[in-house]
Amino acid sequence: EEELQPVFKMPRTNEAMPSYTELVETQRKFFRSGETKSVKFRKQQLTKLKLFLEENREALTDAVWKDLRRRHESTDLLEVSMCISEIEYFLKNLDDWAKATHVEKTFVTALDKPVIEKDPKGVVLIVSPWNYPVSMIVLPLIPALAAGNTVIVKPSELSENVAATFEKLIPKYFEPNYISIVTGAIPETTELLKERFDHILYTGCPPVAKIIMAAAAKHLTPVTLELGGKCPVIVESDADIDLSAKRVAWGKWVNCGQTCLAPDYVMVQSDVKPKFIQSMTKYLREFYGDDVKASKDYARIINQRHFDRISKLLDETKGAQLIGGERDRADLFIPPTVLDVEKTDVFMHDEIFGPVLPIITVKNLSEALEFIADGEKPLAAYIFTRNEAKVKRLVTETSSGGITVNDVLMHMTVDTLPFGGVGVSGMGRYRGKFGFDTFTHEKAVLHRGFFGESLLSSRYPPMSQQKLAQM
Ligand code: NAD
């Protein structure tokens, strides 16, 4: 058993700011060489990316352990294996997705060939967060490469061990004119954002997303923004309450609540609450034992700033603590905490992004749905019920990035579903073909010959009523 050590973050030294113009130019030059256009080349690179993950499983899972104290096996499953299966899915489908598609013709183009060409966009920038630091780099990287782009990745400085691992290992597999890792914090990212990219995918929080979008606007660069929000859970009395509590507990406390899709709060009616809390207590003990702090399965808060943010809310909440315990700042530890709160509680203002689960008591489903619809659009919404009509109401009466019924997080694992937010939870989408399309320009190409002139002869001047009648 490894000794549990608190994670200390090194302050950054104040070295001179590099310019990224040359790096972007080098990538653009390589893109212009046309090498990335070949689907064979792209498949070779995806295979190499898979090899990078397979050969460095230990280094990557270890880096996440150092950054988040998340168990190696969990990272292997949640991040590395997920990325590998995504690559395999792309390798299987890429020929099909990348080929030009022939589309239906109109009467006047009956002799022509209208085709949609799948053009790569060019130089892509991916800016990643710290919470799933490996997959939040690799999952967007896969479609960007598959679509034939070159990529610059800016990992989060908060997950510094993962950032350093990518910085060290990626150059062993890829040339910098194809994939480059740029490490650094706000000053470096600010500098990087001055450059002209052909697409930017940013994963993180809404305030920074506005900075990214404003920088992209200067060059009219398209953006995909993968953000967060307060993902609600509704548990109805007709559901399997025990299993609902188990699934919510898993999705809430995996990675210590620092998951963009994590249940942010739960809404129940008063008859459901006691059983739900009782089951949740039981499963928390089953998952993490009596001493959560000693459990290898319970991750830590990323840093002291985030610890203090959640701690302050815990001090200010008016809610009653139903489950919880002692916090430890030096160890960045906050135990699974469940609160009985009102809708106006401090925990109900912003995305919690930590191990605290507020429970709100509602009178009925309508009240819960209205509360969701009144707030900002979340990245995900969840409902536990056996009643299809209730599910339909959540689907039609609220807006969110996605929905899983009778579970949490799971819609993200389906390659054939788009992943992304709506409103404040983001714009654009990726995963599977949706990712390929995000990093592709669908270019309309109409092939014509020199025959069939009579079909379009009426377009030529001089115009006349007679010609108009023919059109
Ligand atoms: P973060 O603080 O690491 O920021 C993300 C990136 O933005 C980093 O690379 C960082 O260097 C950069 N950045 C930060 N401030 C900047 C600035 N002023 N200018 C330019 N760049 C800047 O991560 P975070 O924002 O704390 O991440 C957590 C958020 O991400 C949560 O809201 C979570 O819900 C969301 N998230 C969303 C998804 C998704 O797929 N939709 C996935 C994971 C996390």
Cα(242) to ligand 1 centroid in Å equals 34
Q: What is the pLDDT along the chain (471 residues), one digit of tens a residue?
A: 344 443 434 334 445 566 899 999 999 999 999 999 999 999 999 999 999 999 999 999 999 999 999 999 999 999 999 999 999 999 999 999 999 999 999 888 889 999 999 999 999 999 999 999 999 999 999 999 999 999 999 999 999 999 999 999 999 999 999 999 999 999 999 999 999 999 999 999 999 999 999 999 999 999 999 999 999 999 999 999 999 999 999 999 999 999 999 999 999 999 999 999 999 999 999 999 999 999 999 999 999 999 999 999 999 999 999 999 899 999 999 999 999 999 999 999 999 999 999 999 999 999 999 999 999 999 999 999 999 999 999 999 999 999 999 999 999 999 999 999 999 999 999 999 999 999 999 999 999 999 888 888 888 999 999 888 877
Q: And the tokens for 240?
A: 């399997």
What is the CA(131)–ligand 1 centre distance, in A?
Answer: 9
197 contact partners, CB below 8 Å, separation of at least 6: 24, 122, 123, 124, 125, 152, 216, 219, 221
Rg of the chain, C-alpha, whole Å: 25
| Residue 84, helix vs strand vs coil | helix
* Pairing verdict, β 150-154 and 402-405: unpaired
On whether the CB atoms of residues 300 and 333 are closer than 8 A, the answer is yes
- Is there a contact between 49 and 142 (Cβ–Cβ < 8 Å)? yes
In this structure, what are the phi and psi dihedrals at residue 465, rounded to the nearest 5 degrees? -60, -35
pLDDT confidence of residue 7: 40
Residue nearest to atom 27 of ligand 1 (CA): 204
SS3 440: strand
Q: How far is the CA of 140 from the centre of ligand 1 (A)?
A: 14
Closest CA to 153 of 134, 172, 161: 134
Of ligand 1's listed atoms, the one at least distance from the Cα of 185 is: 11
In sequence order, which ranges of 56-175 are alpha helices (DSSP H)?
Answer: 57-68, 72-75, 82-98, 135-146, 160-173
Give me the residues paired with residue 132 across strands.
none
Question: Which residue, judged by its Cα, is nearest atom 16 of ligand 1?
Answer: 186
CA of 379 to the centre of ligand 1 (A): 14
Instruction: Give the pLDDT confidence of 309-332 residue by residue, as tens digits.
Output: 999 999 999 999 999 989 999 999
User: Which residues lie below 8 Å from residue 141, measured CB to CB, with a gap of 6+?
Assistant: 49, 126, 151, 153, 179
From ligand 1's centre to the CA of 377, what distance in Å? Answer: 18
- Cα separation, 5 vs 331, whole angstroms: 7
SS3 187: helix
Active centre residues (catalytic): 226, 260
Report pLDDT for 18: 66
| Of 99, 180, 106, 101, residue with least CA distance to 147 | 99
**CA 162/CA 174 separation, integer angstroms:** 17
Q: Alpha-carbon distance 156 to 160, whole Å? A: 7
Q: Which of 256, 260, 306 to mutate to test the pocket of ligand 1 (most atoms within 8 A of CB)?
A: 260
pLDDT at 13: 44
Q: Of 268, 260, 279, which is closest to residue 367 (Cα–Cα)?
A: 268
Ligand 1 pocket test, pick from 20, 126, 128, 131 with the greatest ligand atom count within 8 Å of Cβ, gives 131
Q: What is the structure's pLDDT at 15?
A: 54
**Partners of 232 in the beta sheet?**
265
pLDDT digits (tens, 9 = 90+) for 57-84: 999 999 999 999 999 999 999 999 999 9
The ipTM of this complex is: 0.95
State the closest ligand 1 atom to the C-alpha of 419, by its place in the atom list counted from 1: 40
pTM: 0.94
CA pair distance 120, 438, nearest whole angstrom: 10
Indicate the burial class of 5 (C-beta count within 10 angstroms; 0-12, 13-18, 19 or more): exposed
At a CB cut-off of 8 Å and minimum separation 6, what does 392 contact?
Answer: none
Strands 150-154 and 123-127: parallel
Minimum CA distance residue for ligand 1 atom 22 = 186
How far are the Cα atoms of 47, 78, 96, 434 from residue 93, in angstroms, in the given order?
14, 23, 6, 12
Label residues 7-23 b or e (16+ Cβ within 10 Å = b): beeeeeeeeeeeebeeb
- Ligand 1 pocket list (CB less than 6 A): 127-131, 136, 154, 156-158, 185-186, 189-190, 203-205, 208, 211, 226-228, 260, 351, 353, 379, 421, 426
Ligand 1 atom nearest 420 alpha carbon: 41
Ligand 1 center to 418 CA (angstroms): 20
Which pLDDT value is given to residue 369?
Answer: 98
Q: Identify the bridge partners of residue 266 per DSSP, sorted by sequence position.
A: 233, 359
Ligand 1 pocket test: which of 64, 139, 156, 182 has the largest number of ligand atoms within 8 Å of its C-beta?
156
Residue 269 pLDDT: 98
β-pairing, 426-427 vs 223-226, is antiparallel
The closest-lying atom of ligand 1 relative to the alpha carbon of residue 401 is 41
- Cis status of the peptide bond prior to 155, with omega within 30 of 0: no
Question: What does the DSSP 8-state code read for residue 28?
Answer: H
Give the ligand 1 atom nearest the CA of 421: 41
